[in-house]
């Protein structure tokens, strides 16, 4: 009998551990890209180094937020090196629309075809409020054919001037978006995981009439929460060794362009964004005080469920053993 009880207790403990482990951070989407090591030229051209990278489809047509029947689809390629995460997206559609806004209006996702990136370079899949996030590795960014860019999030606030990108219309039915996202404040190595969502903002009239995504089946979730991003896993470099962070050298910045602020960057619509001191020259310090409340709640819930389940099973087993003992007497 003692042996039976011991076996039952071990089984219950194992079940509780599995239950708790299942409450950890994880991507809701099954999308996954294993990104090889390499350094492309950011010019919108599918050069040889990109041709050797797997091309995954971007074809989850939104049916809830802005349903589309245009037939627009795309393909995604991803690479990395010690300095940047590189993204190359080709979009096939009938009649590329570069600008459908009023004269004098800046390009944006509501008046022009474009590819929108939503990401967490540290692989934070627990952020449920991307625009208001406190994490400076999370952001949203879009480049347009005229070289302008829009975006939001702490990463965009701090590092927009250092992101390289281009949107190139190659013919009337195809355009390309290519990006290089610097690893600011994030140490990378082989098997490091980032979160990523690609959203094609589709137009055939003066407003968006379609959304096509890589990771999520519902449009507009990627810019709202990283929980619905797909995974990008960094594959070992050509030497077979983990990537190592080099000393970051700042690119030359035009005198007409504002430097990244060292005290108070421009305030966003959500809240003022404060950059750490000597932001432009050093890696971001790890913030040990700010914790994500949602994972804590999920972990606490898992713990309660595990304990409750264990208690119920133990009580039932104990009752059966007592009954069996009485019957023997």
Give buried/exposed letters for 194-208 (b at 16+ CB in 10 A, else e).
bbbbbbbbbbbeeeb
- Which residues, including other chains, have CB under 8 Å from residue 256's CB and lie 6 or more apart? none
64-67 long-range contacts, CB within 8 A, separation 24+: 64/218, 64/219, 65/211, 65/218, 65/219, 65/220, 66/208, 66/209, 66/210, 66/211, 66/219, 66/220, 67/210
Task: Select the more confidently predicted residue: 175 or 172.
Answer: 175
User: Beta strands 60-61 and 32-35: pairing type?
Assistant: unpaired
The tokens of 215 are what?
């990771």
171 shares its domain with 51: yes
Domain residues for the domain of 315 are 2-20+293-328
Which of 196, 215, 234 is the endpoint of a domain? 234
Let me know whether 220 and 90 are in one domain: yes
Q: What's the pLDDT tens digit per position in 255-298? A: 444 444 444 444 444 444 444 443 333 333 334 333 333 333 33
Number of neighbours of residue 19 by Cβ within 10 angstroms: 16
Residues 51 and 174 in one domain: yes
Whether 311 maps to a domain, the answer reads yes
* Helices 2-21, 293-328: crossing angle, 10 deg rounding: 160
Count Cβ atoms below 10 Å from residue 265 Cβ, excluding itself: 18
Q: What mean pLDDT do residues 12-40 have?
A: 62
Residue 13 shares a structural domain with residue 72: no
Phi/psi for 13 (5° steps) reads -65, -45
* 190 and 156 within one domain: yes
Which 3 state secondary structure label does DSSP give 266? coil
Same domain for 315 and 189? no
Among the ranges given (29-43, 276-290, 306-320), the one the predictor scored with the smallest mean pLDDT? 276-290
Domains of the chain: total: 2
The domain boundary, picked from 212, 234, 256, lies at: 234
**DSSP per residue, 43-100:** SS---HHHHTS--EEE-EE-SSSS---S--EEEEEEEE-SSEEEEEEEEE-SS--S--
3-state secondary structure of 233: strand
pLDDT in tens, 184-217: 989 998 999 999 999 999 988 778 889 999 999 9
Whether the pLDDT of residue 24 is over 70: the answer is no
Predicted confidence (pLDDT) at residue 89 exceeds the cutoff of 50: yes
Task: Judge contact between 198 and 89, C-beta under 8 A.
Answer: yes
Reported confidence tier of residue 317, pLDDT bands at 50, 70, 90 = low
- What is residue 102's predicted lDDT score, i.e. its pLDDT? 73
Residues 14 and 76 placed together within one structural domain of the fold: no
Q: Are 147 and 173 in the same domain? A: yes
Does 13 lie in the same domain as 153?
no
Retrieve residue 319's tokens: 């009752």
Query: Are 300 and 201 contained in the same domain?
Result: no
84 and 14 belong to one structural domain: no
């Amino acid at each position: 009998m003692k042996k039976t009880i011991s076996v039952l207790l071990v089984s219950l403990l194992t079940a509780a551990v599995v239950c708790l482990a299942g409450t950890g951070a994880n991507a809701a989407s099954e999308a996954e890209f294993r990104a090889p090591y390499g350094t492309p030229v950011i010019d919108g051209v599918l050069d040889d180094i990109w041709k050797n990278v797997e091309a995954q489809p971007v074809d989850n047509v939104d049916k809830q937020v802005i349903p589309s029947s245009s037939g627009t689809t795309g393909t995604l390629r991803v690479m990395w090196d010690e300095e940047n995460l590189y993204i190359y997206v080709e979009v096939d559609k009938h009649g590329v629309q570069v600008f459908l806004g009023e004269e004098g209006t800046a390009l944006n996702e509501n008046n022009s075809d474009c590819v929108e990136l939503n990401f967490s370079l540290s692989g934070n899949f627990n952020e449920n409020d991307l625009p208001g996030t406190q994490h400076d590795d999370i952001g949203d960014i879009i480049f347009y054919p005229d070289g302008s860019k829009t975006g939001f999030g702490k990463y965009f606030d701090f590092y927009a001037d250092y992101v390289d990108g281009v949107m190139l219309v190659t013919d009337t039915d195809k355009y390309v978006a290519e990006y290089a996202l610097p690893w600011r404040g994030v140490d990378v190595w082989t098997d490091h995981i980032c979160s990523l969502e690609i959203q094609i903002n589709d137009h055939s009239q003066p407003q968006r009439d379609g959304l096509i995504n890589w990771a999520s089946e519902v449009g507009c979730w990627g810019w709202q929460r990283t929980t619905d991003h797909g995974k990008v896993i960094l594959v070992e470099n050509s030497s077979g060794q983990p990537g190592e962070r080099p000393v970051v050298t700042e690119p030359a910045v035009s005198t007409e362009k504002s430097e990244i602020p060292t005290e108070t960057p421009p305030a966003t619509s959500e809240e003022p964004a404060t950059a750490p001191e000597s932001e432009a020259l050093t890696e971001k310090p790890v913030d040990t005080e700010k914790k994500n409340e949602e994972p804590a709640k999920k972990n606490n819930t898992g713990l309660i469920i595990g304990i409750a389940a264990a208690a119920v099973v133990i009580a039932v087993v104990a009752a059966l053993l007592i009954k069996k003992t009485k019957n023997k007497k």
